Structure 1
């Protein structure tokens, strides 16, 4: 098909919206309407309605009143297609093997359209274990999975994730600098280990499933409980190693790299 045939099926409004999205995808800190127009070689008035629609649909967010930046909505939508669909399909046998090896339950969580959502769950093989329903929304701030999803993104991406999460889920808690220091420490050591804020006696052990750019596609979490009558069950340190091995194996099987971001 030649260029004339291609031009015959052009959709100028759609092209304009895609031009904006593609431009903002490579810009940190956002751009003003005038800056967007200048970079695209257009009149600023041409982009007013398009920017308004992109903001209202959640694809673009406004920063400091007059600057526009790409939101994480496209990232959330992308998680519904190949990577996460493959992740969920590959996860079941690996999560079952992890549960058998650790004698603990485990769950897989993704950040999707402003929410941290459980997309897969594996029960413990014995009588005792902590389970959570598939489809449940969990906290981004006080769970191991939430910490992993935040830790393995850049500070700017974290801010956008929290903005989207607070807009759809709950009011923002007062986050102290120590919270963000903890996220950096999690990324450095490669996993989270924290007492559950929801259930006494449970320690959340969480590891990332990393994408090609080192960002967390998902979090794999073992809600660890001490099994008194099961002396041969792995201890917490051994469980962490089994968890990390499973998260790495799952990333490789889905075709994802596991190189952490700097």
Structure 2
């Protein structure tokens, strides 16, 4: 360690960051004793630090005595550049999707207990359903929310719901809803009537990161265009939607393609 590094050490901060970095690589959480063992220190050294991390909601207790990361760090990251970069990658493809489907579409991410619209593309014609950027959507009552839940691990799903509103809490996940999420994951998209607007179907597909988990959902609020004979039907729109979502997933998981875009 250099003289400068030694002079400006912050042991308490280092200890907290050590805990966060350790828990980031463990899905099932660790006990206080296991944390101490892995970091080569006495477990008692971490009691106060773990208490503060839990109170500040960076860490949560699971199964009584185990500690695991919440999604708070992920939520903080979402406030910075990643959503803007994702939206910039997606905008040309979203515009192409709108033209090909004759439907509006929107890009949605999870942010601190909410499904949040970070980009939207209007339909090219006179008619279409658009959702304002910044709108907060239910995780349980929208296609976007279903996709964000379905394409995440069980542990992350539980944390997402724990951070959500009372109406979307973990107790709302029934065995039937769990089976629905598995079906969505198997078929690769969600298709459901809108819970908010009659005559609208939410068609939603995941944008996956390199770890195979959803970083966003791409959604078409589909409406039948009776006076537009050339408009694709719902089945064709699903094909176009999943194809576009796959392109964005490839970009999200391929550093070379991201650097080219930058």
| TM-score normalised over the length of structure 1 | 0.90
**Alpha-carbon displacement from aligned partner over 1:214-236 (angstroms, at most 9, x marks no partner):** 11110000010101111110001
Distance 1:119-1:187 versus aligned 2 partners, 3 A rule: same
Counterpart-to-counterpart distance in 1, 2:43 and 2:246:
47
CA shift, 1:57, in A, is 1.9
What residue number does 1:110 align with? Answer: 109
Structure 2 counterpart SS, 1:218 = strand
Instruction: Check the 8 A contact 1:103/1:125 in 2, yes or no.
Output: yes
Instruction: Check the 8 A contact 1:191/1:205 in 2, yes or no.
Output: yes
Structure 1 counterpart SS, 2:76 = helix
Distance 1:148-1:166 versus aligned 2 partners, 3 A rule: same
CA shift, 1:7, in A, is 2.3
Q: How does 1:1-262 map to 2 (within 5 A)?
A: 3-81=2-80, 83-166=82-165, 174-254=172-252, 256=254
**Alpha-carbon displacement from aligned partner over 1:129-148 (angstroms, at most 9, x marks no partner):** 11111101000011100011
Instruction: Check the 8 A contact 1:84/1:217 in 2, yes or no.
Output: no
Instruction: Check the 8 A contact 1:86/1:254 in 2, yes or no.
Output: no
Instruction: Check the 8 A contact 2:87/2:119 in 1, yes or no.
Output: yes
Instruction: Check the 8 A contact 2:120/2:132 in 1, yes or no.
Output: yes
What residue number does 1:260 align with? Answer: none
| TM-score normalised over the length of structure 2 | 0.90
Counterpart-to-counterpart distance in 1, 2:32 and 2:67:
7
Name the stretch that deviates more: 189-198 or 217-226: 189-198
Counterpart-to-counterpart distance in 2, 1:209 and 1:174:
25
Q: Which has the higher helix share?
A: 2
CA shift, 1:5, in A, is 3.6
Counterpart-to-counterpart distance in 1, 2:28 and 2:252:
32
Q: How many residues align?
A: 255
Structure 1 counterpart SS, 2:165 = helix
**Alpha-carbon displacement from aligned partner over 1:15-66 (angstroms, at most 9, x marks no partner):** 1001111221222332222332233232333212211221122210112443
Structure 2 counterpart SS, 1:230 = coil
Name the stretch that deviates more: 14-23 or 243-252: 243-252
Counterpart-to-counterpart distance in 1, 2:172 and 2:113:
19
Counterpart-to-counterpart distance in 2, 1:49 and 1:175:
33
Structure 1 counterpart SS, 2:110 = strand
Structure 2 counterpart SS, 1:36 = helix
Distance 1:203-1:209 versus aligned 2 partners, 3 A rule: same
5+ residue gaps, structure 2: 256-262
Counterpart-to-counterpart distance in 1, 2:83 and 2:117:
12
5+ residue gaps, structure 1: 258-262
